[in-house]
Structure 1
Amino acid sequence: MAVDDILHTSQHPLLHSNGAHANNNKKKNINSVSLAKWVLKFTMWIVFLAWIALFFVIPTDFGSELYADWLDATSGSLFGYTGSLLLLYSAPIIIIAFLAVPYLLISEEDQLQLQLQEKKTPRFRLWTFPVLVDGPLGVVSAAELIGMILFIVFVIWEVYVYTAVILGTLPDYLIPVEKCCFILNNLGLRLGSIGLDCFAFLFLPVARGSVLLRLINIPFEQAIRYHVWLGHLTMLLFTLHGLLYLISWTIEGNLLKNTLMWVDLGVGHFPGVISLAIGLLMWMTSLYPVRKKKFELFFYTHQLYVIFIVFLALHVGHFIFGVSAGGIFLFILDRFLRICQSRKTVDIISIKCLPCGTTELMLSKPPNLRYNALSFIFLQIRELSWLQWHPFSVSSSPLDGKYHLSVLIKVIGEWTENLRGNILNSSGADLHLWPQTKITASVEGPYGHELPYYLMYENLILVAGGIGISPFLAILSDILHRTREGKPCLPRNILIVWAVKRSNELPLLSTNDMELICPFFSNKLNLEIHIFVTRESQPPLEEGQVHEATNSSPPMSNCCSMSVLVGTGNNIWFGLYIISSTLGFVILLFLLDIFYINPYEISSWSYKGLLLVICMLASVFIFGSVMVGLWHFWERRNATREACKDDRIILEKMQHNEIVAHNDSCQQKLASSISTYYGSRPDFKDIFGDISEKWGCVDVGVIVCGPPSLQTSVAKETRSQNIRRQRHHPIFHFNSHSFDI
């Protein structure tokens, strides 16, 4: 022992020296990572700005000359004009996707810690400052308004430039009728070209697990709005494009002949008519009144986008289709992964039915699946429908357990009512009949923010309507876990404002045992909960019974847990999947040109456009599927290395004696933080005004989950408070977490 003590003592200086070297190496690594991130971000910005500038410059005379020079320089290659347009329009966005993968890879470890450690002074942010709060567009932030204005300016600019070109090239020798047809034909052509430019952006927001959305930290439930706006603009331009041609052909007396025309060299009219007809059907059924009342009609007709794209390619041909091919290719990549993920069935660990018509499902997941408390999943129950997928917010924190996540499902429609009926009818009066319950679930996701932004506010206001409390239960659980474990977490002051119709919804709060998660949390967290029961004037005389049916045993393996292919999956494998599919696309184009198009002198624009679409699909299905198969094999191999453990056992071992000893005092403190108001609605002017005086000059994160009317009310008051803000008052940052297609 004496020798050991001497050796231990003699090693102290060496240990200190090694520690200093370790700190220096850590600083060097941090600096290297920061430099790499800066280089990647700078490169992506340069590529993106050049890509955007391309759309603005091309219509001008200067842009036309550059465009002609580019075609002359590149069209002599193997891929011809197709390669020229793909390089010019589609390659930039795919390059950004390539660069986004290493950026996310080196950011996933340190980004949250670095952002939490930064000392931020209260300031306004464009993406959290609501500007438009009333109207058909919903709540629009300053950043979104700027983006909309830029897009409108872009369309007006292109229309103006093309109109000037048309009028400048109008021949004087034509008679008035011929001049009218000349203007209509050329203007229709240019509007179609502008619509194709907008179409290049249309599929970027709708790729649910897109690496681009993760790069800019915009979740799918928010990005879907941009797809809707772009869809309306694109279809308006395409409709005007077709309408002007129809008017011109009617004046010329060749309406039927031109409508049915389908030529080998040039643009085929007939496939364009079919594509436009399908697009109009999709457009009409996607309008809000139809979508709200006949959602299934909207959903099923929207699957016609496949036929729309195919006939669009047949209409414009191979090289013109290259303008929008990049965004479509990234969407195909995402869609294929979603198909692979959704084919797998998922174990339902437990089911709990609450008297308010809400069902809690606990789903099995692998331990390496990453998500945050504001994530959501798409759920399919095959006993109810093989086609319907419904989005639900995750109600559990990723720290609640390594092998499960939970969702709360309220009966608000036919599908959810059938789900609850299926569960209750299967279990019957005797809860021991649970093993006979037959529910086959499949899951897509989780989707959501790349970073849990709610952790970056020291002060939070969470406003929920009804089942909108679900993601806030997950947030609260996540904060409590992080507080207990000492993980990075800023929130210290939390106000929850919850509006419900009936008091039978109040047991939803009991789904989280806050004392069990974090003993003595009230000493570390200032939590207030204001509950407004709008349709009851006084508390009920009797509390409702909670009926539950719970599986007594956890899953024994990961073979029936969720797949990690989509959402926030493994960045390395995801990057390899993108790279392999893109290289496969280039290889297939090369082989097609070498062995088919050039030897057989294939010249038809429509046919070559169809071959281009087939190459895009085949590259993902062939080359991408190989990478997905290797990904699956890697996941299964990792899964066998870990023994499945029951998370509830871990929770039960957590300071059990202390929890029991102080449970009564914790319950009293929790009860004192809850205020329930019957027969009234929340007055956000008073609530925000009281917070302004109480919390002082700080950043306050406001997150809303509920119906559009609730979002509008909170956004309006947030904007009002920020505009009338005094120096010692906080800055409110509006965030919405409501999924509404």
Structure 2
Amino acid sequence: MADDDILHTSQHPLLHSNGAHANNKKKKNINFVSLAKSVLKFTMWIVFLAWVALFLVVPTDFGSELYFDWIGATSESPFGDTGSMLLLYSAPIIIIAFLAVPYLLISVEDRLQLQEKKTPRFRLWTFPVLVDGPLGVVSAAELIGIILFIVFVVWDGYFYTVVVLRTIPDDIPKEQCCFILINLGHRIGTIGLCCLAFLFLPVARGSVLLRLIDIPFEQAIRYHMWLGHLTMLLFTLHGLLFVIAWTIEGTLLKEMLQWVDLGISHFPGVISLVAGLLMWMTSLYPVRKKKFELFYYTHQLYVIFIVFLALHVGSFIFCISAGGIFLFILDRFLRFCQSRKTVDIISIKCLPCETVELMLSKPANLRYNALSFIFLQVRELSWLQWHPFSVSSSPLDGKYHLSVLIKVTGEWTEKLRGNILNSSRVDLHLRPQTKITASVEGPYGHELPYHLMYENLVLVAGGVGISPFLAILSDILHRIREGKPCLPRNILIVWAVKRSNELPLLSTSDMELICPFFSDKLNLEIHIFITRESQPPLEEGQVHEATNSSPSVSNSCSMSVLVGTGNNMWPGLYVISSTLGFVILLYLLDIFYINPYDISPWWYTGLLFVICMLASVFIFGGIVVGLWHLWERRNAAKEACKDDRIMVEKMQHNEIVAHEDSCQQKLASSINTYYGSRPDFKDIFGNISEKWGCVDVGVIVCGPPSLQTSVAKEIKSQNIRRQCNHPIFHFNSHSFEL
């Protein structure tokens, strides 16, 4: 007994020592990661600010001197003048992309360390400032960005105008006028190229830059639209000034058809501008709303726009905007590789409210957040059309499937529903085979699940906009049940629908089955507003059967992991290898072709520059994509019981459908239904202010622009008139609007 006591007492110091050593080691690792993140973030900020300062300083006299000194000092390198411009204008944004790779990799561990903030505070990204203007709902941070960009354009325009006025010759008025117009046209074209340097960054859907700043594509697309209008306005003014000058000189046709070896060729510029104008005109809201296919197909002219712009200005000037274009090409090639793969549809269900639910097969290592969306193509309907849909399932619902809800509202969705209904009418003695071949891009969305970072949530949906909120509820319930990090405890859902036949959407996810007795752990209220019915229909309470179809899963083809949120290692290797390949190809081109053969035509060097960009992505990036694909197949091969697991998840999905009645009974006490009325957000947010007190309240809106505007207007009003004991509302939009 004494020996046991001695052994017992002797073990405790050892265990305590080991535990302390492990804790110290863990703290050191945390400190090292924190230090590395700080260094990377500081470096990226310095590079970005220096890049932005470059565009502001170069037009000034001081900046012009530095610019010419730089060109003179670096033009003797093997890359020549093109390398000087590339290093000056395009290298900074690519360097930031390089640094973003390790930053995202080391940020994975602490990205879900959620801590409740004791004191509520305003945030620039979630404070709506402009709510009624043509730009839609604009946050304080976005307004600051818009103002800074306008200041940049005015600043550059002012200094370039001063330069032009200083060099006016003392000649006859006609020549003097043409000289002013031509020089001013050159300067405005340069400003347009500076805007073009930013234009393609927001539309690189899976870009590491968007992941770095955690701006999802459905929000970044707005920045692309704003920049697109500004860029095309500048390029149009640029071309118009030249047309006026050539008309005055009487050489309009001759100058427009000019194609020279040394200097800027006008005819490629005319082609590029025409392509840009077609894209611009068809992207205006009235055209885009009524003729979406015309907008979509015309927008593919961006290839003509970029290539002929390079032929127009040559490689030297094209380097001003080459960095953003290169990152876009990287993303576009990766999306092309992902979209070539067909995806199995595990199950299809046509709900009575003219909504289709698709369950798609995905690999276990594909990570996404509840507020994600995918682009879906159905080849039986169209080989060119891709449509975005919010994910309606939580990543915790199952490792091997992902669900989307598709509302039948247009020609494409009507064809999809008709295809499903026709295929389900096969003779009952035969196994129904739904003839749908799906391809998927994504998932895209926030890198961080920001819906988990608020203890208090208000979810405002219009119609099928309830879809992402079903994923949010499922995600929160799974996390509460499994004890994973999750802050939300008070959730209010405000759902506006036109008719009561849309209510079955709410029962597509059985909350009680996911987390039994969830009402003890989560305060959930649901307010449903049925706007076009003054009273409950006579058939209320009757169960409307959904049309189900179970396609065969023969090829076991799941979604590709090439694009999406969460995976940062392979995209990082892809970006790095493609960029290094681009530098290598430029070096080899200069050493073995351009310099020995004295290749001087500007348009030709511009064409070679674009070819090097494409070749580096296809060859060097393609090698990484090939290895990535092999790695994906190897992981899929390890999942020996994958088919069985899919069938288990499918059975679980069917169990959810079977428990609809149970779900409805459990939710009945928390659901309030109002017929013939619309949500009164002033009353709703006023009640929240009195009930929840001084806290942060995250408001997420998914619905039409009018709904977003109404919610943003009331949030702005509540925050401005806020008293010290009232909450701060944070506006977040999840609606995808092209």
TM-score scaled by structure 1?
0.95
Q: 1:155 aligns with which of 134, 143, 153?
A: 153
1:545 matched to 2:549? The reply is no
Secondary structure of residue in 1 paired with 2:336? helix
Residues 382-435 of structure 1 show CA distances to partners (whole Å, capped at 9, x for unaligned) of 100010000000000000000000000010000000000000001117677554
Deviation of the 1:135 alpha carbon: 2.0
Deviation at 1:12, TM superposition (A): 4.3
Partners of 1:504 and 1:544 within 8 A in 2: no
> 1:346, 1:708 → 2: CA distance?
32
Structure 2: stretches of 5+ with no match in the other structure: none
Q: Is the 8 A contact 1:426 1:434 kept in 2?
A: no
**Amino acid of the residue matched to residue 143 of structure 2?**
L
Q: How big is the shift at 1:593?
A: 1.1
Counterpart Cα distance in 1 of 2:243 and 2:122: 50
Q: Which runs of structure 2 are paired with 1:115-194 in the superposition (5 Å)?
A: 116-117=114-115, 119-171=117-169, 173-194=170-191
User: What secondary structure, in the 3-state scheme, does the structure 1 residue paired with 2:320 have?
Assistant: coil
Question: Which residue identity lines up with residue 46 of structure 1 in the other structure?
Answer: I
Query: What SS does the aligned partner of 2:259 have?
Result: coil
- 2:221 is the alignment partner of 1:224: yes
CA distance in 2, matches of 1:533, 1:333: 46
Pairing 1:620–2:629 present: no
| Partners of 2:2 and 2:497 in 1: CA distance | 70
| Number of the residue aligned with 1:376 | 373
Name the residue aligned to 2:106: 106
5 Å-filtered alignment, 1:10-409, equals 11-113=11-113, 116-117=114-115, 119-171=117-169, 173-409=170-406
Are the counterparts in 1 of residues 533 and 675 from structure 2 also a CA contact under 8 Å?
yes
**How many Å apart are 1:180 and its aligned residue?**
0.8
Deviates more, 1:560-569 or 1:677-686: 560-569
The alpha carbon displacement at 1:449 in A equals 0.3
Q: 2:582, 2:616 within 8 Å by CA — same for their partners in 1?
A: yes
Aligned length, in residue pairs: 730
1:586 aligns with 2:583: yes
Is the 2:345–2:551 Cα contact (8 Å) retained in structure 1? no
Any conservation in 2 of the 1:209–1:334 contact (CA below 8 Å)?
Answer: yes
Could you tell me which residue of structure 2 aligns to residue 638 of structure 1?
635
Alignment of 1:445 with 2:445, yes or no, is no
Equivalent position SS for 1:704? strand
Is residue 533–residue 676 contact of structure 2 (8 Å, CA) maintained in 1? Answer: yes
Q: 1:85 to 1:436 in 2, by over 3 A?
A: same
Determine the C-alpha separation between the residues in 2 that align with 1:8 and 1:669.
52
SS class of match (2:164) = helix
Q: Deviations over 1:434-467 (max 9, x none)?
A: 5421110000000000001010000000000000
2: CA distance, partners of 1:432 / 1:321: 64
Give, in angstroms, the shift of residue 538 of structure 1. Answer: 1.1
Query: Structure 1 residue 169: deviation in Å?
Result: 1.6
The equivalent of 1:471 in structure 2 is 468
Counterpart CA distance in 2 for 1:716 and 1:547 is 38
CA contact (8 A) 1:355 1:544 kept: no
Is the Cα contact below 8 Å between 1:427 and 1:433 reproduced in 2?
no
Distance 1:402 1:4 in 2: 48
In the alignment, the residues of structure 2 paired with residue 222 and residue 702 of structure 1 have an alpha-carbon distance, to the nearest angstrom, of: 16
The answer to whether the Cα contact below 8 Å between 1:431 and 1:549 also exists between their aligned partners in 2 is no
1:304 match: secondary structure: helix
Distance 1:626 1:650 in 2: 35
Q: 1:3 to 1:501 in 2, by over 3 A?
A: farther
Partner SS state of residue 296, structure 1: helix
Residues 242/431 of structure 1: CA separation in 2 closer, same or farther (3 Å cut): farther
Map of 2:686 onto structure 1: 689
TM-score by length of 2: 0.96
1:442-521 alignment, distance < 5 Å: 442-521=439-518
SS of the residue 1:495 aligns to = strand
Give CA deviations for 1:679-716 in whole Å, capped at 9, x if unaligned.
Answer: 11110000000000000000000000000100000000
RMSD over equivalenced CA pairs, Å: 2.2
Provide Cα deviations, 1:508-544, integer angstroms capped at 9, x if missing partner: 1111110110011000000000000111111122235
Kept after mapping to 2: 8 A contact 1:354/1:547: yes
* Residues in 2 aligned to 1:235 and 1:77: alpha-carbon distance in whole angstroms: 35
* Cα distance in 2 for residues equivalent to 1:691 and 1:77: 65
Instruction: Tell me the SS of whatever aligns to 1:63.
Output: helix
Residue 121 of structure 2: SS of its match in structure 1? coil
When residues 182 and 151 of structure 1 are mapped into structure 2, their CA distance, relative to the original with a 3 A threshold, is same
Gaps of 5+ in 1: none
Deviation at 1:20, TM superposition (A): 1.6
What's the offset of the Cα at 1:571?
Answer: 1.2
SS at match of 2:120: coil
Supply the AA of the counterpart residue of 2:126: T
- Percent pairwise identity: 83
Q: CA deviation at 1:14?
A: 2.5
**Contact 1:496–1:530, Cα closer than 8 Å, also in 2:** yes
Query: 8 Å contact 1:367–1:402 — kept in the other structure?
Result: yes
Residue type of the alignment partner of 1:153: V
- Verify the 8 A CA contact 2:433 2:551 in the aligned structure 1: no
Confirm or deny: 8 A CA contact 1:353 1:546 kept in the other structure.
no
